[in-house]
């Protein structure tokens, strides 16, 4: 079975993001970039499926600027066999991304598409769900366990209040949550080998997809800053403040 | 304008965040209809009919809609959506699972986790784990939104809307099926709806120690949450996680024990009205957002606090 994994280049999760002075966007000048953490988990799961002999080929796809190749090479060092970069410098919305991925799905006919549940930049949490609708595939979001049995995928997913078990018919779109696995690090020899793996570069126009968004960002501002409060010296003082100053107990 | 709110519910009852979503719909303005799609979901429909500001409740009762599987439910919502200017759902796991699939079927964008309504087409939403707030404007014919409950005060349950069955040729798409679920049973209030939340972090040290939060929680009628570190360490199950990828809470009182305050955790609780932090490390970032900080050993503080409250 062929597995398609989508990865996104985003700001490193340790970076404290700041808003530009003109409030047009966040300032990403000279900021460390990395693979979206949820995408790393998706790649790891694909690699594990290959190690189990379930996946026969892993195709990594990314939509973004030229430099997304760095993250794709990382995915290849971890075990992806080849890559497709759909290069664009525009920040596409989730619908446009899902439409492009749907074209790749049509070309590649994967049995399973793995994505992160959300990217930590826009925090949209939409692409996998949208792709499943466009491709008419079954959908499993927030996966914490994935097992493939013949034409079925047994899924455990994280929901409010606990866990839900679903059975999905393949081909399926699965978006992964934090606890599905713990991604490994790439080994140096694999990083070297990854440089030689095939990486095809395309553009949105090659797929004939209109990527214009109907949603415009008018302004990006910092959140209301919370004023640091005071340190209390004892439990007595704390209880007194909560009762008589904050009046919450 | 008319607005369709897709209720989140468990057939027998309504998920609280639905009332906050109706509040967001009121801010947009217009006739508000609530869709309750499930199986044997009359009780949830009756609860929805009581929500203030709701003009009509639409009930789609069919086995295919049980467990709110997106593959079955999205075509129903997308079909109904054509008669509305806005479709809203709470940003619960059900809402977030369903709404992008609805939007894609309608060929429109979806706007996630709005925290404020600026006008009928302009909304604010957090990005970068709440490090920035974006104001976005949509020119789509139907605006498909999920609503972060903490951004809107729930409407009262004083209404009396008509309930109407929607005749739909419900079909099971045959793509996925429900096998089972493990829902944590608890007598405590639900994390996202509680007036007081007590959270523990890595500082608790073990699952046994985590139980030491119980007496104080009992006394305050509080829900218990956890940081990702505590969940990853296996102290508590993942549905207790407060943070960017867990639950977003904004209670009147949030008490953090042994939580350092990673940005991903702060993203889930910094809109709480009053924040108390107890931590041994006086440099812990949690103190930067706490109204009242206590640098102390939490195991000494817990019994004292329980006694004195």
Interface test with A, best of B76, B97, B129, B254 (most A CBs within 10 A): B97
Query: Which sequence spans correspond to the domains of chain B?
Result: 2-165, 191-308
User: Mean pLDDT, to the nearest integer, of A162-180?
Assistant: 96
Taking the CA of residue A194 and the nearest CA in chain B, the distance in Å comes to 30
Q: How many CB atoms lie within 10 A of CB B171?
A: 11
Interface test with A, best of B128, B286, B308 (most A CBs within 10 A): B128
Of the pLDDT bands very low, low, confident and very high (cuts 50, 70, 90), residue A226 is: confident
Cβ–Cβ of B134/A144 closer than 8 Å? no
Cα B106 from Cα B83, distance rounded (Å): 12
Closest chain A residue by Cα to residue B103: A130
**A90: helix, coil or strand?**
coil
Residue B171 has pLDDT above 90, yes or no: no
B133 interface with A at CB cutoff 8 Å: yes
What pLDDT, on a 0 to 100 scale, did the predictor assign at position B193?
A: 86
Tell me which architecture the domain covering B191-308 has in CATH: 3-Layer(aba) Sandwich (3.40)
Nearest to B274 among A26, A142, A248 (CB): A248
What are B10-64's pLDDT values in tens digits? 999 999 999 999 999 999 999 999 999 999 999 999 999 999 999 999 999 999 9
What pLDDT, on a 0 to 100 scale, did the predictor assign at position A82?
A: 98
Residues in B touching A216 (Cβ below 8 Å): 136-137, 139
Structure tokens at A95: 């619908």
Return the CATH number of the domain spanning residue range B2-165: 3.40.50.620
Residues in A touching B231 (Cβ below 8 Å): 179
What pLDDT, on a 0 to 100 scale, did the predictor assign at position B190?
A: 87
Could you tell me if B267 and B246 are in contact, meaning their C-beta atoms sit under 8 angstroms apart?
no
What pLDDT, on a 0 to 100 scale, did the predictor assign at position B307?
A: 96
**B264: helix, coil or strand?**
helix
What are B211-268's pLDDT values in tens digits? 999 999 999 999 999 999 999 999 999 899 999 888 999 999 999 999 999 988 999 9
Q: Which residues pair with B219 in a beta bridge?
A: none
What is chain B's mean pLDDT, rounded? 96
Residue B205 has pLDDT above 80, yes or no: yes
- CB proximity under 8 Å: B 230-259 to A: 231-232, 237-239, 244-245, 247, 252-253
Tell me if domain B2-165 and domain B191-308 are identical in fold.
yes
What pLDDT, on a 0 to 100 scale, did the predictor assign at position A224?
A: 87
What are A86-142's pLDDT values in tens digits? 999 999 999 999 999 999 999 999 999 999 999 999 999 999 999 999 999 999 999
Residue environment code for B80-89, b if the CB has 16+ CB neighbours within 10 A, otherwise e: bbeebbbbbb
What pLDDT, on a 0 to 100 scale, did the predictor assign at position A99?
A: 98
Range of the domain at A158: 2-245
Please choose, from the candidates A90, A14, A101, the residue with its C-alpha nearest in 3D space to the C-alpha of residue A61.
A101
Secondary element (H or E) of residue A3 = strand A2-7
**Residue ranges in A143-187 assigned as alpha helix (H):** none
User: Mean pLDDT, to the nearest integer, of B119-132?
Assistant: 96
With a pLDDT cut of 70, the percent of chain A lying above it is: 100
B100 interface with A at CB cutoff 8 Å: yes
Of the pLDDT bands very low, low, confident and very high (cuts 50, 70, 90), residue A244 is: very high
What pLDDT, on a 0 to 100 scale, did the predictor assign at position B244?
A: 86
What is chain A's mean pLDDT, rounded? 96
B131 interface with A at CB cutoff 8 Å: yes
Give the number of domains in chain A: 1
Q: Is B183 annotated as a binding residue?
A: no
Cβ–Cβ of A159/B288 closer than 8 Å? no
Q: Is B68 annotated as a binding residue?
A: no
Q: What is the CATH number of the domain that holds A130?
A: 3.40.50.620
Taking the CA of residue A98 and the nearest CA in chain B, the distance in Å comes to 9
Could you tell me if A168 and B71 are in contact, meaning their C-beta atoms sit under 8 angstroms apart?
no
Nearest to B104 among A134, A141, A166 (CB): A134
Residue whose structure tokens are 């005749």: B167
User: Mean pLDDT, to the nearest integer, of A212-239?
Assistant: 94
Closest chain A residue by Cα to residue B282: A231
User: Mean pLDDT, to the nearest integer, of B109-130?
Assistant: 97
Q: At what angle do helices A127-135 and B93-106 cross, to 10 degrees?
A: 50
Taking the CA of residue B131 and the nearest CA in chain A, the distance in Å comes to 6
Residue A227 has pLDDT above 90, yes or no: no
Q: Which residues pair with B200 in a beta bridge?
A: B226, B257
What pLDDT, on a 0 to 100 scale, did the predictor assign at position A242?
A: 96
């Amino acid at each position: 079975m062929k597995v398609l994994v989508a990865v996104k280049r985003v700001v490193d999760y340790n970076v404290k993001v700041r808003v530009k002075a003109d409030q047009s966007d966040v300032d990403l000048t000279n900021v460390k970039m990395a693979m979206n953490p949820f995408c790393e988990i998706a790649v790891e799961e694909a690699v594990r499926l290959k190690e189990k002999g379930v996946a026969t080929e892993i195709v990594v796809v990314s939509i973004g600027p030229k430099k997304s190749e760095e993250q794709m090479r990382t995915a290849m060092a971890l075990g992806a066999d080849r890559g497709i970069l759909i290069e664009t410098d525009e920040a596409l919305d989730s619908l446009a991304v899902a439409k492009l991925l749907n074209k790749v799905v049509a070309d590649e006919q994967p049995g399973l598409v793995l994505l992160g549940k959300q990217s930590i930049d826009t925090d949209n949490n939409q692409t996998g769900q949208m792709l499943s609708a466009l491709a008419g595939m079954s959908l499993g979001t927030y996966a914490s366990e994935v097992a493939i049995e013949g034409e079925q995928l047994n899924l455990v997913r994280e929901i409010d209040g606990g866990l839900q078990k679903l059975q999905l018919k393949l081909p399926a779109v699965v978006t992964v949550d934090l606890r599905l696995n713990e991604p490994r690090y790439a080994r140096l020899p694999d990083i070297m080998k990854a440089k030689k793996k095939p990486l095809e570069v395309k553009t949105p126009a090659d797929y004939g997809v209109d990527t214009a968004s109907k949603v415009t960002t008018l302004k990006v501002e910092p959140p209301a800053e919370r004023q640091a409060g005071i340190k209390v010296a004892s439990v007595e003082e704390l209880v007194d403040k909560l009762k008589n100053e904050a009046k919450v107990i | 304008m008319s607005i369709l709110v897709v209720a989140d519910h468990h057939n027998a009852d309504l998920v609280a965040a639905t009332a906050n979503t109706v509040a967001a719909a009121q801010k947009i303005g217009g006739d508000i209809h609530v869709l309750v799609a499930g199986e044997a979901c009359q009780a949830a429909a009756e609860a929805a009919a009581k929500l203030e500001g709701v003009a009509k409740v639409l009930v789609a009762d069919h086995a295919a809609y049980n467990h709110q599987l997106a593959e079955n439910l999205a075509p129903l919502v997308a079909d109904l959506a054509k008669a509305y200017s806005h479709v809203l759902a709470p940003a619960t796991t059900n809402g977030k699972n369903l709404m992008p699939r609805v939007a894609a079927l309608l060929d429109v964008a979806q706007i996630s986790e709005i925290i404020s309504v600026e006008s009928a087409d302009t909304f604010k939403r957090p990005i970068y784990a709440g490090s920035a707030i974006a104001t976005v404007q949509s020119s789509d014919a139907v605006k498909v939104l999920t609503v972060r409950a903490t951004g809107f005060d729930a409407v009262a349950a004083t209404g009396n809307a008509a309930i109407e069955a929607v005749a739909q040729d419900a079909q099971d798409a045959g793509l996925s099926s429900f096998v089972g679920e493990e829902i944590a049973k608890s007598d405590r209030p639900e994390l996202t709806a509680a007036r007081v939340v007590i959270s523990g972090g890595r500082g608790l040290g073990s699952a046994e120690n985590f139980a030491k939060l119980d007496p104080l929680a009992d006394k305050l009628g509080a829900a218990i949450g956890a940081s990702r570190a505590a969940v990853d360490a296996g102290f508590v199950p993942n549905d207790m996680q407060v943070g960017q990828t867990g639950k977003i809470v904004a209670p009147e009182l949030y008490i953090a024990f042994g939580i350092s305050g990673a940005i991903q955790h702060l993203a889930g609780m910094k809109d709480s009205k009053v924040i108390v932090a107890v931590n041994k490390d006086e440099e812990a970032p949690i103190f930067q957002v706490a109204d009242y900080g206590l640098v102390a050993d939490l195991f000494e503080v817990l019994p004292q606090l329980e006694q004195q409250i």
